[in-house]
């Protein structure tokens, strides 16, 4: 399972915001932390703002602030903002134009997709933050998400 | 035995009578007198009353004969508001002994008060006392709510994969 670069960047950013809901975090700060261009990141943050996950705060000390509900927002909610995670033709039952080989391969790929969807759809940001905390504890370091 | 499917709802989903309640939650082994309330909770959630089924679950998992009871109920104000059922299974699917949670359920009006978490903690403690160090459960992958509940407690995908097929006539 590979997520697109924008999706991964969105997940990193959202976890950063959700981990510090009281802070306004600038795009430049996140861009520097993840070594991406501010221009590239701006598109991702704009989409997150459009969907109501974060809000943009203008002016001195401005930036972005988490406005979602970390106990309800799942990884899948973020992922589908950036890439298609729609049911396959096999899952939709639209197999008329498919060869038997297509259908058999489609069934296997659907199985993988369904499990991926169930996994992403059941992990909330709050659960992710706890998971990150546990990883940090077990690593014994001060590593931040990412 | 037909395994009841976990149906507890994760905290944060629906407000209830005891949201973030300061009422103490008591968790203890089930008693025969609790069964009517357990059956009522199950019937409320599933829409089916399964009295015979619950009598057999009580005989198998209720108090009596087991060193560590695995059918626990949660009470608020002396009213049963939830239950959890599990069992330690030895070498099933080739795995060393581990604790399995078969069912966890909380009355809809008592959700959001930490009842499910208390039940899961209690049965985990019971399994630990039995000497096992692994907790497992199985549920439908489209049951996002209960999946989220278990994941919020740190559960991750295990090494087992469930498989099935239709049996031809």
SS (H, E, C) A6-38: HHHHHHHHHHHHHHCCCCCECHHHHHHHCCCCH
pLDDT of amino acid B48: 92
pLDDT of amino acid B138: 93
Q: How does residue A98 score in pLDDT terms, banded at 50, 70 and 90?
A: confident
Q: How does residue A57 score in pLDDT terms, banded at 50, 70 and 90?
A: confident
Fold topology of B25-152 = Aminopeptidase (3.40.630)
pLDDT of amino acid B5: 46
Check pLDDT > 80 for residue B99: yes
Contacts (Cβ under 8 Å, ≥6 apart) of A78: A7, A10, A11, A14, A48, A53
Nearest to A118 among B11, B141, B154 (CB): B141
Rounded CA-CA distance A9/A34 in Å is 8
> Is A114 in Cβ contact with B147 (below 8 Å)?
no
Q: How many CB pairs below 8 Å do chains A and B form together?
A: 33
Contacts of A124 in chain B (CB under 8 A): 148, 151-152
Shortest Cα–Cα distance, A35 to chain B (Å): 30
Average of per-residue pLDDT values in chain B: 84
Q: Give the DSSP letter string of B88-119.
A: EESSGGGPPSEEEEEEEEE-GGGTTSSHHHHH
**Model pTM above 0.95:** no
Tell me the three state secondary structure of residue B74: strand
For B52-73, what is the mean pLDDT?
A: 81
Residue pair A74/A124 in contact by the 8 Å Cβ criterion: yes
pLDDT of amino acid B6: 43
Check pLDDT > 70 for residue B151: yes
Quick one: which H or E segment has residue B39?
A: helix B35-46
Sign of CA dihedral B26, B32, B37, B40: positive
- Comparing A66 with A98, the larger pLDDT belongs to A66
pLDDT of amino acid A142: 53
Domains of chain A, earliest start first: 5-84+124-139 (1.10.10.10)
Q: How does residue B126 score in pLDDT terms, banded at 50, 70 and 90?
A: very high
Average of per-residue pLDDT values in chain A: 89
pLDDT tens-digit profile of A70-85? 999 999 999 999 998 7
Q: How does residue B7 score in pLDDT terms, banded at 50, 70 and 90?
A: very low
Check pLDDT > 50 for residue B101: yes
Rounded CA-CA distance A16/A145 in Å is 7
Check pLDDT > 90 for residue B21: no
């Amino acid at each position: 399972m590979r997520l697109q670069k924008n999706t991964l960047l969105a997940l990193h950013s959202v976890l950063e915001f959700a981990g510090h809901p009281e802070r306004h975090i600038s795009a430049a700060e996140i861009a520097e932390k993840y070594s991406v261009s501010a221009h590239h990141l701006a598109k991702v943050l704009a989409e997150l703002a459009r969907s109501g996950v974060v809000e943009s705060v203008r002016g001195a000390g401005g930036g972005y602030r988490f406005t979602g509900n970390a106990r309800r927002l799942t990884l899948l909610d973020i992922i589908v903002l950036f890439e298609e995670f729609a049911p396959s033709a096999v899952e939709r039952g639209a197999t008329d134009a498919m060869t038997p080989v297509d259908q058999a391969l489609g069934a296997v790929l659907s199985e993988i997709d369904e499990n991926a969807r169930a996994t992403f759809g059941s992990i909330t940001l709050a659960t992710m933050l706890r998971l990150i905390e546990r990883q940090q504890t077990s690593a014994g370091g001060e590593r931040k998400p990412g | 035995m037909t395994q009841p499917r976990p149906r507890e709802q994760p905290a944060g989903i629906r407000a209830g009578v005891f949201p973030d309640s300061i009422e103490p939650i008591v968790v203890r082994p089930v008693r025969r007198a609790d069964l009517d309330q357990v059956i009522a909770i199950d019937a409320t959630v599933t829409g089916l009353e399964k009295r015979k089924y619950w009598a057999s679950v009580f005989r198998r998992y209720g108090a009596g004969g087991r060193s560590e009871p695995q059918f626990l109920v949660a009470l608020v104000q002396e009213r049963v508001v939830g239950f959890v059922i599990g069992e330690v299974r030895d070498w099933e699917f080739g795995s060393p002994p581990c604790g399995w949670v078969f069912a966890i359920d909380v009355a809809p009006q008592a959700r959001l008060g930490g009842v499910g978490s208390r039940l899961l903690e209690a049965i985990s403690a019971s399994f630990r006392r039995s000497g096992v160090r692994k907790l497992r459960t199985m549920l439908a992958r489209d049951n996002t709510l209960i999946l989220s509940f278990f994941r919020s407690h740190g559960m991750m995908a295990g090494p087992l994969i469930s498989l099935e097929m239709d049996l031809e006539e």
